């Protein structure tokens, strides 16, 4: 089998996995990060009437044609009150943010632009236009209006809208169930005593955390040893999940039993080699029920393959439309060597100055150096056709987990 | 009191809140997103010996001075095995990724660059340098080496390192306890019947979700009505938490009792006006135990104030060093009007083309339009000194929640 390009392999994965058809009901307190599976309509006009956008005075803008002018305060109106008086020429009402604008008034002037002129009198020094600082009835939403479509990702702002529509419970797409299996005689499990000749099973946990970062709690199946019967038993268990991640054993080596065993279990293997670095021994197959990823045993390769293929697949299954890690443009601080053939993902750190982002390799790109994956802020993507990149080139960098925040404020206040 | 600049107010907040001194122990499965409160040292050399980086043949590079050459395969070595033979001139061993390189061999050639030449014979067509595709003993970590410092944010890559160091349990900084209180007679609670003249209590839930997005589960205290005794009772309860967020009632209006009541309860109010739009009625104070934020009652203003002030404060308390939402540079697609005086945060959507990001206002910037906050991808920051921005200008945009992912792959494979 030929090596598939990254794009081709990704297309194959995304065409194979479908949005979860099942929906479930969650409380609003559990909704963050989920994808809405119902349409949400406004149950009221909001605001329910014209309201003040400021603490100040509701007045007739025509009264301010000659300023300064002194107006008589006829009423105090706070949010939750209903006005009892109609504002006549020369009058105004003291009004709080969110309170209804009384009849007769056509503008609000904020308190900072006024001066007290004795009891129940206020001096106005600034003219305003009709409509100033008034929020119109239904400006935010009209009763019966569709406010959130099915398929909307539930961010904090969306939670606010759901609360406004009083959705204490709501329907969301069910999350895929994910199982993680590591394979190999050389692996030492978390509870085993330290044996310096063995390799700690870090992949199960790094994959667990990558899945958790997407809002899914995966099931760790443990370690299957290099025994075909044991491997088949573990894999069979994994095929009861929506997604099975198998770490190691998917290469073309003599002892790599994962692919043939999966095929024996009825998995239709769609590819097992991708032209990428790190990470090329990446396998993918499906049953009617389960999408199976055979990930490289190498920790860095495993994490990169997860970021590029598994995460978009899981996000698509969850109902998200934004599937890929955010990319930014950054200026390379050094030359990058590359021979055409494979798409390369280089671990980089980022810096920001007035010209934007710059990207610097974390150092050795040996896929054995998992520390550099833990320390990297992004993955610089080198196109498979590239003959290398010169210092100063603008390149695409995918932001990694933990980079939603930065250490500088990033703007001039 | 003067209006504080955004930078001045932020400095005041960040100087007032301290990293939580208490630590707690969590299982590795619960560690994602936390901040490590101990140093982690490697408990082994990794790899424990020189290992192969590829599936292929371990050989003597000097044997390849004249190619093609046929070598005799003397052994199969897979990960977890120990080699039993020393490779002599004209010999090689079949070797799997992660398996120990046998004595005598000084390079690995991947299987794809070889051809079978009959039983136990392999033909080599490519020369390699000594050291090719060998991962050196200790390349990833040396026994006893400091691999993770206290203060490290626990990303999936860090979870992998923690698993490698076999930290099934680890010490992390305790998260601050956060209480959320809404105030106002006009508010309708989630379980109340719909009254079109009232305003649904959306702020408590939007703030809850903003806190949850930082990995903290807050406590909702409910709604305090505009009664000084009731308000004092609720605020008193909130002062048992590390952070108290009070929504509404912090302005300068007649009925805004929050600030004086907090002062009566012993809160040292440090500021209550910030030169920003939306959001200027933002108050902040402290007791020995609690940081108190008085947030605007307006939903959009409340969310913006949270993003700019509360989130950095909570991140600092959690032990993070990256406190601020990530900013990118984007090209404005239209003019933006602005009068000097206040820092303005404009809700925008983002698009990406070959020239990078562009930013477009979500439309009306009325702070009453909370739907536009739910739909925005970022906040364009207009400096307080600005006289407006022309279309085409490069501007700083803070990415909002939910924008860690994008809908296009973002790079050429």
Phi, psi of B228 (to 5 degrees): -55, -40
Distances (CA, A) of B168 to A54, A186, A327, B45: 54, 20, 33, 19
ipTM value of the model? 0.92
Q: What integer pLDDT is reported at residue B215 of this predicted model?
A: 95
Residues in chain A: 413
Q: What integer pLDDT is reported at residue B368 of this predicted model?
A: 66
Q: Give CA–CA dist B30/B35, Å, rounded.
A: 12
Q: What's the distance, CA A116 to chain centroid?
A: 50
Cis omega before residue B278 (within 30°)? yes
Taking CA–CA distances from B218, the nearest residue in chain A reads A29
The tokens for B164 are 């490698």
pLDDT higher than 70, residue B160: yes
Phi, psi of B9 (to 5 degrees): -65, -40
Q: Note whether B401 contacts A212, CB cutoff 8 Å.
A: no
Q: Note whether B196 contacts A45, CB cutoff 8 Å.
A: yes
Taking CA–CA distances from A46, the nearest residue in chain B reads B199
Taking CA–CA distances from A251, the nearest residue in chain B reads B55
* pLDDT 10s digits, B279-325: 778 999 999 999 999 998 888 999 999 999 999 999 999 999 999 99
Neighboring chain B residues of A76 at a CB cutoff of 8 Å: 254
* pLDDT 10s digits, A375-392: 899 999 999 999 999 999
- Nearest by CB to A158, from B141, B374, B381: name it: B374
The three state secondary structure string of chain A is CCCECHHHHHHHHHHHCCCCCCEEEEEHHHCCCCEECCCEECCCCECCCCEECCCEEEECHHHHCCCCEEEEEEEEECCCCCCCCCCCCCEEEEECCCCECCCCCCEEEEHHHEEECCCCEEEECCCCCCCCCEECCCCCECCCCEEECCCCECCHHHHHHHHHCCCCEEEEECCCCEEEEEECCCEECCCCCCCCCCEECCHHHHHHHHHHCCCCCCEEEEEECCCHHHHHHHHHHHCCCCEEEEECCCCCCCCCCHHHHHHHCCCEEEECCECEECCCCCEEEECCCCEEEEECCCHHHHHHHHHHHHHHHHHHHHCCCCCEECEEEEEECCCECCCCCCEEEEEEEEEEECCEEEEEECCCCCCCCHHHHHHCCEEEEECCCCCCECCCCEEEEEECCCCCEECCCCCCC
What integer is the mean pLDDT of B252-263?
76
pLDDT higher than 90, residue B250: no
SS3 category, B267: coil
pLDDT higher than 90, residue B222: yes
Q: Give CA–CA dist A244/A295, Å, rounded.
A: 10
DSSP code for B4: B
Cis omega before residue B205 (within 30°)? no
Give B278→chain A minimum CA distance, Å.
Answer: 11
Q: Note whether A368 contacts B139, CB cutoff 8 Å.
A: yes
Q: Give CA–CA dist B366/B363, Å, rounded.
A: 9
Q: Note whether A160 contacts B299, CB cutoff 8 Å.
A: yes
Residue with tokens 């197959």: A285
What integer is the mean pLDDT of B162-189?
94
The answer to whether residues B79 and B96 touch, using CB atoms and an 8 Å cutoff, is: yes
Give B298→chain A minimum CA distance, Å.
Answer: 8
Q: Give CA–CA dist A7/B408, Å, rounded.
A: 12
Neighboring chain A residues of B327 at a CB cutoff of 8 Å: 352, 406, 410-411
State the number of CA atoms in the 13 A half-sphere of B97 facing the CB: 23
Q: Give CA–CA dist B192/A48, Å, rounded.
A: 17
Q: Note whether B327 contacts A410, CB cutoff 8 Å.
A: yes
pLDDT band for B262, please (50, 70, 90 cuts).
very high
Neighboring chain A residues of B194 at a CB cutoff of 8 Å: 43-44, 166
Neighboring chain B residues of A79 at a CB cutoff of 8 Å: 184-186, 199, 297
pLDDT band for B252, please (50, 70, 90 cuts).
low
Neighboring chain A residues of B374 at a CB cutoff of 8 Å: 148, 155, 157-158, 160-161
pLDDT higher than 90, residue B67: no
Element at B232 (helix H, strand E): helix B228-238
Q: Give CA–CA dist B100/B92, Å, rounded.
A: 13
Taking CA–CA distances from A320, the nearest residue in chain B reads B407
Q: Note whether A7 contacts B413, CB cutoff 8 Å.
A: yes
Q: pLDDT averaged over consecutive 10-residue blocks of chain A (413 residues)?
A: 87 94 96 97 91 91 92 90 93 91 95 88 92 90 93 95 95 97 91 88 96 97 92 97 89 68 95 88 94 92 95 96 93 95 94 90 76 89 95 94 82 76
Q: What's the distance, CA A292 to chain centroid?
A: 24
Residue with tokens 């390189």: B101
Q: Note whether A381 contacts B135, CB cutoff 8 Å.
A: no
A311, A347, A410: best mutation site toward chain B, by most B Cβ within 10 Å?
A410
Stronger pLDDT, B168 or B411, i.e. the higher one: B168
Q: Note whether A398 contacts B411, CB cutoff 8 Å.
A: yes
Q: Taken in order A404, A408, A412, B2, is the CA torsion positive or negative?
A: positive
Q: Taken in order B12, B155, B403, B296, is the CA torsion positive or negative?
A: negative
DSSP code for B281: -
Q: Note whether B383 contacts A413, CB cutoff 8 Å.
A: yes
Q: For chain B, how big is the Rg over CA atoms in Å?
A: 30
Q: Give CA–CA dist B301/B244, Å, rounded.
A: 17
Q: What integer pLDDT is reported at residue B144 of this predicted model?
A: 94
Stronger pLDDT, A299 or B175, i.e. the higher one: B175
Q: Is the pTM of this model over 0.95?
A: no
Q: What integer pLDDT is reported at residue A31 of this predicted model?
A: 97
The answer to whether residues A91 and A124 touch, using CB atoms and an 8 Å cutoff, is: no
Q: Give CA–CA dist A117/B13, Å, rounded.
A: 37
Q: Note whether A157 contacts B53, CB cutoff 8 Å.
A: no
Neighboring chain B residues of A401 at a CB cutoff of 8 Å: 155-157
- Nearest by CB to A76, from B165, B254, B401: name it: B254
Sketch out chain A's domains with CATH numbers.
6-21+175-318 (3.40.980.10), 23-46+140-173 (3.90.105.10), 327-399 (2.40.340.10)
Q: Note whether A326 contacts B399, CB cutoff 8 Å.
A: yes
Q: Give CA–CA dist A22/A242, Å, rounded.
A: 12
* pLDDT 10s digits, B377-407: 999 999 999 999 999 999 999 999 888 888 8
Taking CA–CA distances from B397, the nearest residue in chain A reads A411
Task: Give the range among B89-98, B254-263, B372-381 with minimum mean pLDDT.
Answer: B254-263
Q: Give CA–CA dist B294/B46, Å, rounded.
A: 52
SS3 category, B60: coil
A253, A301, A321: best mutation site toward chain B, by most B Cβ within 10 Å?
A253
Q: Note whether B326 contacts A403, CB cutoff 8 Å.
A: yes
The answer to whether residues A178 and A242 touch, using CB atoms and an 8 Å cutoff, is: yes
B29, B54, B149, B163: best mutation site toward chain A, by most A Cβ within 10 Å?
B163
Give B144→chain A minimum CA distance, Å.
Answer: 13
Q: What integer pLDDT is reported at residue B402 of this predicted model?
A: 81
Q: What integer pLDDT is reported at residue B94 of this predicted model?
A: 94
The answer to whether residues B398 and B376 touch, using CB atoms and an 8 Å cutoff, is: no
- Nearest by CB to A97, from B7, B297, B328: name it: B297
């Amino acid at each position: 089998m030929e090596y598939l390009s990254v794009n081709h392999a990704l297309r194959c994965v995304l065409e194979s996995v479908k949005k979860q058809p099942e929906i479930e009901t969650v409380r609003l307190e559990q909704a963050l990060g989920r994808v809405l599976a119902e349409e949400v309509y406004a149950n009221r006009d909001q605001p329910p009437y014209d309201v003040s956008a400021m603490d100040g005075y509701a007045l007739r803008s025509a009264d301010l044609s000659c300023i300064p002018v002194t107006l008589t305060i006829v009423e105090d109106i706070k949010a939750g009150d209903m006005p009892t008086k109609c504002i006549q020429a020369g009058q105004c009402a003291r009004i709080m943010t969110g309170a209804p604008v009384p009849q007769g008034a056509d503008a609000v002037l904020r308190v900072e632009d006024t001066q007290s002129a004795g009891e129940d009198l206020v001096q106005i020094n600034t003219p305003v236009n009709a409509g100033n600082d008034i929020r119109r009835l239904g400006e935010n939403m009209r009763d019966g209006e569709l406010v959130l479509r099915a398929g909307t990702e539930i961010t904090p702002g969306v939670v606010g809208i759901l609360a406004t529509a009083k959705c204490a419970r709501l329907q969301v797409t069910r999350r895929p169930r994910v199982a993680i299996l590591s394979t190999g005689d050389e692996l030492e499990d978390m509870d085993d005593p330290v044996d310096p000749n063995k390799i700690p099973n870090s992949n199960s946990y790094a994959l667990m955390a990558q899945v958790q970062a997407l809002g899914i709690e995966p099931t760790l199946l443990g370690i299957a040893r290099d025994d075909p019967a044991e491997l088949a038993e573990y894999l069979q268990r994994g095929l009861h999940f929506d997604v099975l991640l198998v770490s190691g054993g998917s290469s073309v080596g003599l002892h790599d039993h994962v692919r043939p065993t999966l095929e024996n279990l009825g998995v239709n293997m769609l590819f097992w080699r991708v032209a990428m670095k790190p990470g090329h021994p990446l396998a993918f197959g499906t049953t009617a029920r389960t999408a199976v990823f055979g990930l490289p045993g190498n920790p860095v390769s495993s994490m990169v393959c997860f970021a590029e293929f598994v995460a978009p697949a899981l996000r698509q299954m969850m109902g998200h439309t934004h599937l890929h890690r955010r990319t930014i443009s950054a200026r390379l601080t050094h030359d990058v060597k590359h021979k055409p053939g494979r798409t390369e993902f280089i671990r980089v750190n980022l810096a920001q100055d007035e010209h934007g982002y710059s990207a610097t390799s974390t150092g050795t790109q040996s896929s054995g150096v998992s520390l550099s994956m833990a320390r990297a802020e992004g993955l610089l993507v080198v196109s498979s056709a590239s003959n290398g990149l010169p210092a100063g080139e603008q390149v695409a960098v995918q932001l990694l987990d933990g980079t939603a925040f930065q250490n500088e404020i990033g703007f001039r206040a």
